[in-house]
Amino acid sequence: MIQDTIAAISTALGEGGIAVIRVSGPAAVDSVSNILKSRTPLADAPSHTVTYGHIAAPGSGEIIEEVLVTVMKGPRSFTAEDVVEIGAHGGLVAVRKVLELVLEQPGVRVAEPGEFTKRAFLNGRIDLAQAEAVIDLIRSKSDRSYSVALKQAEGTLSRKIKALRHTLIELLAHIEVNIDYPEHDVTEMTSSYIKDSCGSAMEEIRRLLKTAAEGKILREGITTAIVGRPNVGKSSLLNALVQESKAIVTDIPGTTRDVIEEYITLSGIPLRLLDTAGIRETTDVVERIGVERSRSAAADADLLLLVLNHNEALHDDERELLAKLTGRQVVVIVNKSDLPARLKLDEVAAALPDSRIVMMSVLEEEGLEALEGAIRELFFEGQLESADLTYVSNVRHISLLNKASQALSEAVAATEDGIPIDMVQLDVRSAWELLGEIIGDTAGDSLIDQIFSQFCLGK
């Protein structure tokens, strides 16, 4: 049973128009009421209403901030507990002072990162898959990844998992009866029942896993490296892509070998561009180093955009690169198509069979659509799936679904081999538990702590 009340600044730290301090727990209303001067006492404010007032130090009466206070009584709140949100509009100092005053009230302590969402989970308002989707919502960098996360936060995946577990629990009950009353005809029926139930559950898991590759891409972006010799137009292409992109472009300094990433989206396909710093530098760097850098970025990428110059014959370095790219997802971009042809396309095609070749002139802004089309064909089956589809996008979920499916296939195999039914029961039970871990029903404390520790403060 949760007894203490937690508080934190829930908006991003830094200067902003407004900031919100969130308080949750049994003492939420009293603690804010103690430091609020308002016409109607906060304790009398009906749930889901806003009260105007001033935050004042209880002793000195010094006014610290003009605020709008929202009261949401549990269980109709984010955490399912009493929640009070103080909307302040001053700078960081005022917001900190308000939080300090709240924390001085009896029974209130500062919230840990993710603790509000964790309480929503512990109080049964959301399940673990939904809580994880909240992290994804905060972090999503494209409209697509946002809508994937939103569906999961609404519980579409959780409902499918619950339905699967329901099938399995019915099967377990049936097996239980059979173990208690082992009559022959029941045994016969049970074995076909096991095969049917496990079969349909495996089919549903297969359907969910089929969305995983695309779901993961939509969530994390396609890790992409632009490679090629100096002067072919890599940084011009990068600039054109960034300009074309309607998504937020972020520079993330990498922790290893100072790789800089940028996120862009091309007609809804999120790309995570690797080593963009390297690309922007190469013009001045010795050729050899440029190729070395290309190689290391290439090793980490899901998608390689190999840029060649339409106006120059294939170079030995490029032949070497092409040979190394066999079996990878590559789009060959033949840039500078506005200039006379000196590159032999059939030589490129022969060096890397089955590769997609796109003619482009970054200078004249031609070929970007063809590039988008080529990427879409490589990673998505035809059209991007409709937004209605439930995607499995989280590696933890993917791995649990795979394990559950494996356990079910073992149950079926054991039934077919005539292995005693209590052994089969173990496999079914393990599948049921693995699926439960996705939504948090059978998840251990350390897993739960680890998941919520990924959240930011105040969430």
- Binding residues (CB under 6 A) for ligand GDP: these are 228, 230-236, 279, 282-283, 335-336, 338-339, 361-363
Task: Choose between 140 and 235: whose C-beta lies nearer to ligand GDP.
Answer: 235
Give the DSSP H/E element, type plus range, for residue 237. Answer: helix 234-244
Least Å distance, CB 231 to ligand GDP, is 4
Please state the closest distance from residue 348 (CB atom) to ligand GDP, in A. Answer: 17
> Toward ligand GDP, which CB reaches closer, 233 or 268?
233
How far from the centroid of its chain's Cα atoms is residue 140's Cα? 7
Buried residues in 284-303 as b, exposed as e (16+ CB within 10 A): eeeeeebbebbeebbeebbb
Nearer to ligand GDP, 128 or 226 (CB): 226
In sequence order, what are the beta bridge partners of 169? none
Min separation Cβ 367 and ligand GDP, Å: 9
Distance of closest approach, residue 289 Cβ to ligand GDP, in angstroms: 12
Question: Which strands make up the sheet holding 303-309, listed edge to edge?
Answer: 252-253, 260-266, 269-273, 222-227, 303-309, 330-335, 356-359
- Residue 281 CB, shortest distance to ligand GDP, in Å, is 9
Residues with Cβ within 8 Å of 284's Cβ and at least 6 positions away in sequence, in order, are none
Specify the residue, 229 or 272, whose C-beta has the smaller distance to ligand GDP.
229
Measured CA distances, 132 to 77, 151, 230, 280 (Å)? 18, 12, 42, 36
CA 145 to the chain's CA centroid: 7
Phi-psi region of 83 (alpha: psi -120 to 50; beta: other; left: phi over 0): beta
Cα radius of gyration rounded to whole Å, the chain: 29
3 state DSSP class of 331: strand
Minimum Å gap between C-beta 433 and ligand GDP is 52
Q: Tell me whether residue 53 or residue 233 sits nearer to ligand GDP (CB atom).
A: 233
In order of 104, 312, 428, the CA distances from 19 in angstroms are 20, 57, 50
- Residue 237 Cβ, how far from ligand GDP at the closest point, in Å? 7
Of the candidates 439, 428, 438, 437, the one whose C-alpha atom is nearest the C-alpha of residue 406 is: 428
Structure tokens at 65: 């901030």
Q: Kindly tell me which of 215 and 290 has the beta carbon lying closer to ligand GDP.
A: 290
Residue 331 neighbours by CB distance under 10 Å: 21
State which residue, 231 or 430, has the beta carbon closest to ligand GDP: 231
Minimum CB distance to ligand GDP, residue 238 (Å):
8
CB of 337 to ligand GDP, least distance (A): 7
CB nearer ligand GDP, residue 219 or residue 234: 234
Phi-psi region of 334 (alpha: psi -120 to 50; beta: other; left: phi over 0): beta
Q: What angle do CA 197, 202, 205 make, to 5 degrees?
A: 130
Of residues 333 and 421, the one with the C-beta less far from ligand GDP: 333
